A and B are shown apart, each in its own frame.
Chain A
């Protein structure tokens, strides 16, 4: 009897817990916590290539607008997104572009930036957002609303635990995909 009550309470807790963990609460949590600087390892799987292309480096997010992705291997590269401005440094050359002029790039950037910032409103403007799992292990599934982008990107999946983003996957419509895993660097 006691055991049954315990079980019922546990079940109720579970149900309560599951009900409490929705997209809104995930994003509230993401918004509260500033993500740490992370090491990333990225694999790009392409039909064109026999093996995935691998790259690694560091990723840092400064809320609410700035992402810096510094690739160290296989060759140095630095991408900074600051508000509307994307700067790409590579092979001694610097390229800049404005997200305002490249709406499709903007949408891709926004999927990650809005998630890291916990900005559900911004994300919902361009994606339909689904959530699986619980607080300890969740997976966001985003599909672009804009048909022009659907032709390029099928979906973006971001997985994490608590307020930590651990994996970012971009699934392109042609079957190619990239998987970036993140591991926090001790601050």
Chain B
């Protein structure tokens, strides 16, 4: 077998392997891949919550249209139907009846839940004080509602529990159901059974919601709004999938048309696409092999890879007589790898995928072009001579060269724009990667605010190997926080240990309950002189006796109630198998200046002696989530740039030539960055990576101009033609991504497309005449 034959055989075997891997690949399109892979402990909490936490299951629903009565009717009907729907675990709309289940649970378990239950409470003095307090309440305006419960609960334990669970920011109610503050929207809060990261199940739940709403409310009259992390995942996936199908098709079509126009030969076109197809296949297979799944965004990046990798076969076909061809392409491949490597070090799995895909694709495409494609070419293969085209392009290049002052003007303008934006050129925020339109995010934050689900800004997180130990730790932290409430340093806190006290606490409370005879005797003494006769309180005695030996309150006992939802968000098992208890800190009331003394909270948490307890500022963590990764991307880009310069130096061995090659690239970067800032886009880490790619890809063109300038290229017009064709395919491949609604693709696409074009023009303008 010849060397070429061996290469073809190896190539075919490789393709078969890749195809096999591809057949076993799972494709995903949700955005959790773009959450950090190596978070800090604080970020881990946030990332787990966003991905699988109770928060991720919430669906916030708004109903608009007609009048308040109609909206309330739709809200009730929708809630009733959704409660029966298998996709939803709980549905709340504020209607009183919906809380019957919660009240029953609290009432049944009040003696293990109430913080007031201790031996002191059931002495003669304790009973008298508690009952006296209850009589006082009966005299107050609240008396009418409490009266019925007095025979069962004369010490007011239910009220004590509700008092602690009550949240001031409960949603407003109109016509008996939750409504937005302006009353124009009915509001519901549902929770899906499936985890937020199960996008298929979330999509099914959303479909069920829409179908059900159409059944209960007439179209045209009523409008449904739905939001939440799961819904966002569903929408993001639909956008990614739509974009990938549409843009890949258009991008590929554009490249094919370009090649056809120049080659005017379907055979040349097909052969030219062989390396690209091999590269794309190998790239997907490599990602699948390395990550287990392939993200839709990675596939969407394929069009950029096509535009980039097709360059090699263009150079091969057009510059057949160029002896310097392979070293130049090799250098181009190496600089491109250096460029895409910045993605590998980004720390975000989705971007690492892009890097692996692009690098594998380029290496394979170049290798196939070098070792396989020549063997596949028929003996008589020859594309149409493009020398004429090259000569015309040379004329354009000369014209550009004569307008160097224009270049100077553009660069000066770019520098001015950069200087004006020097204070805030970068965007570190999570939303910079979020494809959900601003309008949808607005609805989300409105619904969130209406529900008071705007979540505690600060939480205390404790971890333990078991659920019970986590509760115990939460209880210890709570004991330290209680004095801060009394001191007005915080408004309160929401601890899972209140909803579900530790077994030890529950047993201690049970143990402080007297037996029936003792209680009866003490009551007789305690009620002396009060208007309440002991005989009226037999239901109380019966309840206490029952509570003494009742099974402890468990998670199962609250299943199907709002407490289950609440507990899920406060006590859960993390991805590492450990249990986490979250204590939400509520600021002290004080109107708009409501705040909690977080320094005091930190101190209290430290004093509690719970190992590894964290006080997390969620807002700050969300804001900062990408700041660190941005820094990383910045350093990775600088590193990639240094490597590219090193590669150029090794190849050219002349500082002057390196400088000549680099100058148009750096100016191109300036112009593209200025373009983004001038159009109101602050640079994200993807723009940074894009700028590095501008240097990497642009260096290919600059190198050719360098050789032409040195007179080292004997076929300059054809080289020029191939350069422009290669440039156009790159601009088409990346440029089409700038129409994507997915920010990851849009930022890289627009940056590289514009940058590739600008650097080519600059390289032409700045190159000396041959």
User: Which A residues have a C-beta under 8 Å from some C-beta of B?
Assistant: 42, 44, 46, 48-55, 71, 74-75, 77, 79, 88, 90, 98, 100-101, 103, 152, 172, 176
Contacts and interface: CB of A to CB of B under 8 A. Distances in A.
Contacts of A71: 139-140
B173 A172 contact: no
Nearest to A46: B147
Interface residues of B, number: 21
Contacts of B172: 98, 100-101
Given A53-B135, A53-B138, A48 B174 contact: no
B292 interface: no
17 contacts: A42-B139, A44-B143, A48-B532, A49-B138, A49-B531, A51-B531, A53-B138, A53-B143, A54-B139, A71-B140, A75-B136, A77-B140, A88-B140, A100-B183, A101-B172, A101-B173, A172-B144
Contacts of B167: none
Contact of A48 (B139, B140, B150, B176): B150
Interface in B143-192: 143-144, 147, 150-151, 172-174, 176, 183
Nearest to A109: B141
Given A48-B151, A49-B135, 6 more contacts: A42-B139, A44-B139, A46-B147, A48-B150, A54-B139, A71-B140
A46 B138 contact: yes
B139 A79 contact: no
B139 A53 contact: yes
B138 A44 contact: yes
B98 to A, nearest CB: 14
| Most chain A CB neighbours (cut-off 10 Å) among B139, B140, B143 | B139
Interface of B: 135-136, 138-144, 147, 150-151, 172-174, 176, 183, 531-533, 536
Contacts of A98: 172-173
B144 A152 contact: yes
Given A44-B143, A103-B176, A74 B531 contact: no
B173 A53 contact: no
Nearest to B532: A49
Contact of A100 (B139, B140, B174, B532): B174
A176 B151 CA distance: 16
B141 A88 contact: yes
B144 A74 contact: no
B138 A50 contact: no
A53 B173 CA distance: 33
A144 B183 CA distance: 26
Contacts of A90: 140
A90 B138 CA distance: 13
Given A53-B531, A98-B172, A100-B172, A48 B143 contact: no
Contacts of A42: 139
Contacts of B143: 44, 53
Contacts of A49: 135, 138, 531-532
B490 to A, nearest CB: 16
Contacts of A88: 140-142
Contacts of B142: 88
A176 B147 contact: yes
A54 B138 CA distance: 10
A39 to B, nearest CB: 17
A118 to B, nearest CB: 23
A90 B136 CA distance: 10
Contacts of B144: 152, 172
B238 to A, nearest CB: 38
Given A49-B532, A53-B531, A74 B136 contact: yes
A51 B532 CA distance: 8
| Most chain B CB neighbours (cut-off 10 Å) among A42, A75, A103 | A75
B147 A100 contact: no
Contacts of A50: 531-533
